[in-house]
Amino acid sequence: MSTTVPQDILDALTDVAMPRLRPEPELSNTVQIGGYDIPVHACGGLVIGSGAAGLRAAVEMKRRDVDVTIISQSAWGGTSACSGSDKQTLHTANTKDHGDDFQDMAASIGAGGAMDEDTAYIEAVGSIRAMASLQYLGLPLPQDALGGTLRYQTDHDEVGRATSCGPRTSRLMVQVLASEAIRLDIPFFNHTTAVNVLTQDDRVVGLLAIRPKASSDANPYGLMLFTCNALVFAAGGPGELYRDSVFPNGCFGTLGLALEAGLELVNITESQFGIGTRREGFPWNLSGTYVQVIPHIYSVDDSGAEHHFLADYYRTTQEMASNIFRKGYQWPFHATRMLDFQSSLVDLAIVRENQKGRRVFMDFNRNLLPVPGDQPFSLDRLDDDVRSYLRHAGAVHDQPIDRLRHMNPLSIELYKRYKVDITTDPLEFAVNNQHMNGGIAVDIWGRTNVAGIYAVGEAAGTHGVTRPGGSALNAGQVFGTRVAEHIAASRMAHEASKLDATTLAERALTRIEATLNTNSSRDAADIRSEVQARMSDHAGILCTPKDVSAAHKAASDLNAQIRRNGISFKRSGEVGRVLQWQQMALASEAVLAALDHYIAKGGGSRGARAICDPNGDALPQAAHGPIPEVRFRSERDADKSEQLLVHMDGEDMVVTHRKIRRFDQDARTFFERDWPAWLTGAIYDQNDGETVPC
């Protein structure tokens, strides 16, 4: 029996208002550095980023009496607050599925390979605590009448561990965590962009930032100095790295900043790409029910003619319709799913249409047109798994829009908020970059290779080649808590830093000024166009060894040019963006260096990318025969058990290999033996590579 959801409930889950920040702390201390009068804020722990992961770290640090401060480029403007993060993948139980198994969940999280096994287990075990604490703070995760969490299947998840508050799930997470951070009176500096990490003797001592509020005649760039004993990177992923991206505009992440600070990056070859609306309008992933209602998908050429292009790839209407449906829980492109007429053939077809200069749309007011010569679309002629799902959901309506209205009315309301009415108009979309699975290398407590620096959320490289959809949100909550526990146990940040970082800040300022050159022929917009075009055109879902190698060299040349000639700007207010694009150029080179290294060493297709090679062993087929230009190499099993690390050595990107950390599934804790390690804090002193028994 279907229940109609009242409009006021739909509105509350779609229009999620964020809390008002309290006034920023008054700054009474100013130091003169390099001829500038720069305000200083001293704290024990500093968190870069105000998304779900950063707020979790800050809240948990404050609860443990850490003197913590948050800085944010734009409060509530990041990925978790603004993008299509519609689910949490958690260890849950309901009345049908009889619970879960931590080791099975860990195996699913790390199933794609190149992920540390202990990290996967930590994320599985910690998910219960993450979910319960979010519910305690007010996150409305759905339940059945007996208290079980409602669940469903998502990407790389055969069990069905995902749960959702609707398309604004991650924004609701940010809302409840932000309210708690404000209640705890955590100092928060908004419109503050981190530009240089200050370290001494391989330990963090502070951070140089830019904030417009601090600008004056004596400080035209708006520089500000933060001193701290612990620093948490939580500013998300490099959303600006690609032209074709579903990230909200202005999401730069901190990979370039991390490289300059001497941090190691890991798995930065591993991303996710999938269908979504373009960022020029309202960027959003088209997973879940958007495709499970099986809308008509078509392209339009310059003359306005429509093309039923998917019919060129699938052999029957049933096969085509069933694989469009499967994009709902097989949303990310995966090279192997181009084979045997599976769901990633949809992604390939869309990319090839765009390469022809055609625009691609989905229309919820038309059922899928048939493959020429085959029977018309019918809900009775679908693969068994698809037909069963729609019948159990009660989505047996005649038109896609009616099926969508029944299954997920919030999905319609969401686009209406951005003046797109999918009940009347088709929706333009493309294959976009959505998530980086790699990031800053961390250990089981979120520690980096520089003492006092931690990373959480998408900034951290805790994922491997694949991950269940929604598990990234869980990882940020789990490691945000663990980072806070480690910082608190170390006693390094319970009081504000008393270090004098002026000399280090002066050196950093000298490096910054070397980048700023009003006479340079390159500006930030120019660098943005070059970086984004190169990444989208040569490091997307289809890669060739030759193109990646050439792109790597071009990225290296760009950074050499920046070091020689700097970047131009017209106003002092542009300096923050200039430095972010200088760092994004570094991040781009790092990704391409790692990808080039991987391919040159014989690495095959996995996760987000197909390594196209005329000598490859895998050949996708279309309805009318093979597609030789996308013949690709299969992944080697040996590559699943190691990770690629990247760091800067002077001006060079250095790529190394590391075996993943293994987890002893047969090990067992013993209360009397292991309790003292908890009581004394010995559990926090584990070295890299050690694991905690289960």
pLDDT level of residue 58 (50, 70, 90 thresholds): very high
Token duo for residue 256: 């370039």
Mean pLDDT of the 620-624 span: 96
Alpha-carbon torsion, ordered 574, 580, 582, 586, to 10 deg: -170
> 156 with 274: CB under 8 angstroms?
no
Q: Does residue 280 sit in the same domain as residue 412?
A: yes
- Beta-carbon-side half-sphere exposure of residue 26 (alpha carbons within 13 Å): 1
pLDDT level of residue 413 (50, 70, 90 thresholds): confident
Candidates 177, 54, 157, 142; CA nearest to 100 is 157
Residue 409 lies in a domain: yes
What is the residue-wise DSSP string for 12-50?
HHHS-PPPPPPPPPP--EEEEETTEEEEEEE-SEEEE--
Mean pLDDT of the 641-670 span: 93
Sign of the Cα torsion 678, 681, 684, 685 reads: negative
Residue 420 lies in a domain: yes
Expressed in percent and rounded to 5, the helix, strand and coil fractions of the chain are 40, 20, 40
Total number of domains constituting the chain? 2
Last residue of a domain, one of 616, 634, 652: 634
The vertex-219 CA angle with 213 and 222, nearest 5°, equals 35
Q: Is 116 left (phi over 0), alpha (psi -120 to 50) or beta?
A: beta
Residue 78 lies in a domain: no
Higher-pLDDT residue of 144 and 295 is 295
Token duo for residue 89: 């993948």
Residue 302 CA, chain-centre distance (Å), reads 34
Residue 563 lies in a domain: yes
Residue 104: is its pLDDT beyond 90?
A: no
pLDDT level of residue 147 (50, 70, 90 thresholds): confident
pLDDT digits (tens, 9 = 90+) for 317-360: 999 999 999 998 898 999 999 999 999 999 999 999 999 999 99
CATH number, domain at 547?
Answer: 1.20.58.100
Higher-pLDDT residue of 450 and 85 is 450
pLDDT digits (tens, 9 = 90+) for 537-582: 999 999 999 999 999 999 999 999 999 999 999 999 999 999 999 9
Q: Does residue 314 sit in the same domain as residue 424?
A: yes
> 658 with 645: CB under 8 angstroms?
yes
User: What's the burial of 629, exposed, middle or buried (CB within 10 Å: 0-12/13-18/19+)?
Assistant: exposed
Q: Does residue 308 sit in the same domain as residue 421?
A: yes
Residue 686: is its pLDDT beyond 90?
A: no
- Asked whether the whole model's pTM tops 0.75, one would answer yes
Residue 602 lies in a domain: yes
- Alpha helix positions (H), 92-149: 102-109, 117-137
3-state secondary structure (DSSP) of residue 361: strand
What pLDDT, on the 0 to 100 scale, is given for residue 428? 95
Region of poorest pLDDT, from 285-299, 396-410, 457-471, 588-602: 457-471
Q: Does residue 545 sit in the same domain as residue 430?
A: no
Region of poorest pLDDT, from 147-151, 189-193, 407-411, 635-639: 147-151
Mean pLDDT of the 499-527 span: 95
Q: Does residue 624 sit in the same domain as residue 522?
A: yes
Q: Does residue 293 sit in the same domain as residue 418?
A: yes
Find the domain containing 617 and state its range.
504-634
What pLDDT, on the 0 to 100 scale, is given for residue 165? 79
Q: Does residue 286 sit in the same domain as residue 413?
A: yes
pLDDT digits (tens, 9 = 90+) for 438-486: 999 999 999 999 999 999 999 999 999 987 767 888 899 999 999 999 9
What pLDDT, on the 0 to 100 scale, is given for residue 489? 96
What pLDDT, on the 0 to 100 scale, is given for residue 452? 98
Residue 468 lies in a domain: no
Q: Does residue 309 sit in the same domain as residue 428?
A: yes
Last residue of a domain, one of 382, 406, 434: 434
Q: Does residue 416 sit in the same domain as residue 535?
A: no
Residue 584 lies in a domain: yes
**N- to C-terminal Cα distance for the chain?**
43
Average pLDDT of the chain to the nearest whole number? 91
3-state secondary structure (DSSP) of residue 151: coil
Mean pLDDT of the 106-122 span: 91
**Residues, the chain:** 694
Beta pairing, strands 45-48 & 68-71? parallel
% of the chain exceeding 90 in pLDDT:
75
pLDDT level of residue 95 (50, 70, 90 thresholds): very low
Residue type, 336: T
What pLDDT, on the 0 to 100 scale, is given for residue 98? 54
Residue 168: is its pLDDT beyond 50?
A: yes
Q: In what order do the strands lie in the sheet with 29-33?
A: 29-33, 36-42, 223-227, 203-210, 193-200
pLDDT digits (tens, 9 = 90+) for 198-255: 999 999 999 999 999 999 999 999 999 999 999 999 999 999 999 998 888 888 999 9
Higher-pLDDT residue of 573 and 96 is 573
> 608 with 273: CB under 8 angstroms?
yes
Residue 289 lies in a domain: yes
What pLDDT, on the 0 to 100 scale, is given for residue 1? 47
Q: Does residue 610 sit in the same domain as residue 510?
A: yes
pLDDT level of residue 3 (50, 70, 90 thresholds): low
Q: Does residue 401 sit in the same domain as residue 279?
A: yes
- How far is residue 445's CA from residue 202's CA, in Å, rounded to a whole number? 18
Contacts of 601 (CB under 8 A, 6+ apart): none
pLDDT level of residue 81 (50, 70, 90 thresholds): low
Residue 32 CA, chain-centre distance (Å), reads 38
Last residue of a domain, one of 584, 613, 634: 634
Q: Does residue 283 sit in the same domain as residue 430?
A: yes
What pLDDT, on the 0 to 100 scale, is given for residue 666? 80
What pLDDT, on the 0 to 100 scale, is given for residue 45? 98
pLDDT level of residue 635 (50, 70, 90 thresholds): very high
% of the chain exceeding 70 in pLDDT:
95
